[in-house]
Amino acid sequence: MKKNFFALTLAILISSCANPQSYESDLRVGDGKYLYEMGISYLNSGNNAMAIKYLEEALKSYDKPEVYNALALAYQFAGEFANAEDIFRLGIDKYPDYPELLTNYGILLAYQKKFNEAIKYFEKAINNPTYSGKEKAYYNLGMVYLQLGKEDLFLSNLEKALMFNSNFVNAYITLGDYYLDKYNVVHNKEMLKKAREYYSKALNYVVNDPSIYFRLGKVYHELGDDELAKYYLEKALKSAENNTGLKEEIRKYLLEILDKPKSKINLNEENKKHSNTLEDKNNDGDSILSILKKGEKWVKVKFTFR
């Protein structure tokens, strides 16, 4: 299972009302803030080339830390890591305490496996008393410690991230993945219960997330509760409408359970308190078997978790 990794941050996400079609005329506009907003619009839409053009032009008359941050991210998303690093450094030289620059530069360093340098930038961002997104710095700092094999520091920093932002879904999912992976190594069901706890908390803040349903289905199967496993896997199938690869992955896993169940349906006392989630499941659209039959026409594409 592929883990969540570093969480990028943009200081400002703008839905610009400017018309992105008139590129040449827009670049002649002398308003750097307007050009910045256009660059952000392109960055949000995934057009990194256009984002870079606008943001480079914006920087000439609108020298703000958020412009350096967005431009560096645009270069990073475009795979131009040397240019991204140059822009981050320029921005940090001018605005050494701007936390989004510090956090995102730390992420770039972490991707390059420069972990000790990355830690310094995350910690500097965390120490800024005005930073309203500290959960991202704590989360990323924890992920670096996980890469370094310091699991206690990984856990403490992710819990700290959740203390600053209790609806930070990425942290819940990452902790769930951590404990599920732990179970696969040590085969201790206490790890499964912890994974279930974090995945269930993530569901409090999202609606119909098929990847979380899929994870919970796996956890319940490993716990020996195949009834709940099938319930969550069915929900995963139904909510993964636009992800053919995920549907195929879930379908295969479901067929394994149906053909070779890990254990008979036998809810123990600890699991009975969760059985209320099964109410009305038989009335919730198509049955598992009908969904699986539809799945025969799906294109097989390998899916990896985000």
Same-domain check for residues 97 and 199? no
Summarize pLDDT for 32-57 with one digit per residue, the tens. Answer: 999 999 999 999 999 999 999 999 99
Q: How does residue 91 score in pLDDT terms, banded at 50, 70 and 90?
A: very high
Same-domain check for residues 47 and 102? yes
Mean predicted confidence (pLDDT) in 163-183: 97
pTM listed for this prediction = 0.79
Q: Is residue 247 part of a domain?
A: yes
Mean predicted confidence (pLDDT) in 227-234: 92
What are the percentages of helix, strand and coil residues in the chain, rounded to 5? 70, 0, 30
Summarize pLDDT for 122-163 with one digit per residue, the tens. Answer: 999 999 999 999 999 999 999 999 999 999 999 999 999 999
Q: Is residue 283 part of a domain?
A: yes
Residues 236 and 255 sit within 8 Å (Cβ to Cβ): no
Which residue, 94, 118, 136, sits at the end of a domain? 136
Q: Is residue 154 part of a domain?
A: no
Same-domain check for residues 115 and 181? no
Q: How does residue 27 score in pLDDT terms, banded at 50, 70 and 90?
A: low
Same-domain check for residues 179 and 280? yes
Containing domain of residue 285, as a range?
169-306
**% of the chain with per-residue pLDDT over 90:** 69
Buried/exposed 138-160: b ≥16 CB within 10 Å, e otherwise:
bbbbbbbbbeeeeeebbbebbeb
Mean predicted confidence (pLDDT) in 236-240: 93
Q: How does residue 6 score in pLDDT terms, banded at 50, 70 and 90?
A: low
Q: Is residue 164 part of a domain?
A: no
Mean predicted confidence (pLDDT) in 206-211: 92
We report the CATH number of the domain holding residue 86 as 1.25.40.10
Same-domain check for residues 98 and 179? no
Same-domain check for residues 175 and 277? yes
Exposure of 191 in the CB half-sphere (CA atoms within 13 A): 14
pLDDT at 260 > cutoff 90: no
Select from 236, 148, 151 the least CA-distant residue to 186: 151
Q: Is residue 99 part of a domain?
A: yes
Report the number of distinct structural domains present in the chain: 2
Distance CA 106, CA 88 (A): 10
Q: Is residue 206 part of a domain?
A: yes
pLDDT of residue 241: 83
